[in-house]
Structure 1
Amino acid sequence: MKLKVFLWLIICSLSTHLVAQNVNDDIVKAFEQGQASLLTNHLSEEVSTCILNQQSRVKKQEAVEKIADFFKTIQIQSFKIKHTSVRDESGYIIGSLQSTKDKYRVNCFFKKENNNFFIHQIRIDKANE
């Protein structure tokens, strides 16, 4: 019985890790390539955005448009994930976005909905480095 419980916990842990890895890959690709549309499947129906101190709570498609508009204002050189964490019901990614002129800190916060993780908040700020 203890073995079954242990195996079940390992399976659940691995499945959460694999889901988080897929989300991470898509987010990295979206920010590396400046393609906000790649985030669409990973956004909650409503998303809180704060892009360079412009805050709003918007529907998924409008969030994608706001991020796409931001991407149009910069020339992206690279994006790297600095920190990530996934728990039972939530998670986050902190990344560093380098453009030709500036460096930005990107925060994506997730919550679990229907056994999947969706971004409910995105924040993009100029880095203080």
Structure 2
Amino acid sequence: MAFSKVKRRNKIRRRIRQSISGTESKPRLSVFRSNKEIYAQLIDDVSGKTIAAASSRDKGVSDKGTKSEVATAVGKAIAEKAKEAGVEVISFDRSGYLYHGRVKSLAEGAREGGLKF
């Protein structure tokens, strides 16, 4: 029997998380995507703390435009928050989503904001 879409993504996510881990100097940029919104967090896995977070629900992020344009704005917002926290280099965790569409737009926005993957 075939996996459902969510079970397939969780299986991929667990496999990715075995190799990607965030530290204080190089945190993990974790992405969560729902049908309407997109969320990003910078996570220090060693201490178990979130350094910074941004989402499409934040007031500073533009609500107008396509979902991909909003994802790019979220990427730029997380990059600004990372700079304030003193972070420049990150590990990108796509959380089992394909590197395509909104996830790719968020990553490109973070790169434009000055983060290095």
The TM-score range, normalised by the shorter chain, is under 0.3
The answer to which structure has the higher strand fraction is: 1
Of structures 1 and 2, the one scoring higher in RCO (CA 8 A, sep 6+) is 2
TM-score, normalization: structure 1?
A: 0.26
TM-score, normalization: structure 2?
A: 0.27
